[in-house]
């Protein structure tokens, strides 16, 4: 039986060759990327642009939180920041391979 659909975890295989897309599993307001590997992971918001790159050190957690806001803001404060199927970012292992543990919260 599946758990609450507002909270989803996924493992993502990452290697040194390709940039692996982080795809939103559900409509969500928050995404956490846990580096479960024993090596650093590289993260980019554009897989072909090195200027968007950062590092998630081994054993660390990167969190993206975009809460709802007042209705006076242009989008009315309703709806998710990331829709199911959206590409959020891209990951690549600095060396070897390893899983990243993704957590999506509606």
pLDDT tens by residue, 44-78: 999 999 999 999 999 999 999 887 666 565 555 55
Which two tokens mark 78? 């309703």
Rounded to two decimals, what is the model's pTM? 0.87
Reading across the β-sheet that carries 30-35, which strands appear in turn?
Answer: 7-14, 98-105, 30-35, 61-65
Half-sphere exposure of 95 (CA within 13 A, CB side): 3
β pairing state of 54-56 and 41-44:
antiparallel
**In this structure, how many other beta carbons lie within 10 angstroms of the beta carbon of residue 89?**
20
For 70, phi and psi rounded to 5 degrees?
A: -55, 150
What are the structural domains of the chain?
A: 7-67+79-105 (2.60.120.220)
Taking only the tens place, the pLDDT of each residue in 4-52 is 888 999 999 999 999 999 999 999 999 999 999 889 999 999 999 999 9
């Amino acid at each position: 039986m599946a758990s609450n659909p507002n909270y989803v975890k996924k493992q993502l295989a990452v290697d040194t060759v390709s940039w692996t897309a982080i795809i939103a599993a559900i409509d969500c307001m928050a995404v956490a990327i846990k580096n479960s590997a024993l090596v650093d992971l590289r993260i980019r918001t554009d897989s072909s642009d090195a200027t968007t790159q950062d590092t998630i050190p081994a054993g660390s957690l990167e969190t993206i939180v975009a809460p709802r806001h007042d209705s006076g803001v242009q989008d009315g404060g309703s709806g998710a920041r990331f829709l199911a199927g959206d590409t959020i970012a891209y990951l690549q292992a600095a060396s070897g391979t390893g899983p990243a543990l993704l957590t999506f919260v509606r």
